[in-house]
Amino acid sequence: MEIVRSTLTVFFEDPFWVGVYECQTDRSYEVMKMTFGTMPEDNTVLSLVLSSHRLSWHLEKTACAELKKAYVNPKRKQKQAVLDMQRHGAGTKAQQALSRQRDLQHQKAKIRTKENREAKKAYQYAQKIKKRKEKHRGH
């Protein structure tokens, strides 16, 4: 009797929902990647799992087995995680949007502060010139 283990993992890979279907037997390991587009409903996923024997497998069985056994250096994983964090930033999309909005407000405040400082300097210079003219009046 042959034992068959299969798993379906559904995750969001910007900008689409993706499913990875793995099927493992005593003799082979097969992997298939499916792109759903929008978030799949439960009945869509169920019908996909029930009809998995009719789906085409994208990777060769031997290549999948080798891929499963491949060792990935932990330092490489850590470096990739740091690069992803720098590229995309931490948190959810809502948190990232709030961060961008906060940055824009900070930039606007800097511009406003600079304009106020320059206006104050211009006013002080005008007052200095006015005072100087008043001192020399009538001479």
Please give the residue range of the domain that contains residue 46.
Answer: 5-70
* C-alpha to C-alpha distance for 93 and 26, rounded to whole angstroms: 42
Is the Cβ–Cβ distance between 35 and 48 less than 8 Å? no
As to burial, measured by CB atoms within 10 angstroms (0-12 exposed, 13-18 middle, 19+ buried), residue 49 is: middle
Assess if residue 58 is contained within a domain: yes
Average pLDDT over residues 67-86: 77
Assess if residue 99 is contained within a domain: no
What is the number of structural domains in the chain? 1
Assess if residue 34 is contained within a domain: yes
What is the share, in percent, of the chain residues with pLDDT greater than 70?
82
Assess if residue 20 is contained within a domain: yes
For 35, the 3-state DSSP assignment is strand
* C-alpha to C-alpha distance for 124 and 83, rounded to whole angstroms: 49
For 1, the 3-state DSSP assignment is coil
Residue 123 has pLDDT above 80, yes or no: yes
Assess if residue 125 is contained within a domain: no
Residue 28 has pLDDT above 80, yes or no: no
Assess if residue 126 is contained within a domain: no
Residue 55 has pLDDT above 70, yes or no: no
Assess if residue 93 is contained within a domain: no
Assess if residue 51 is contained within a domain: yes
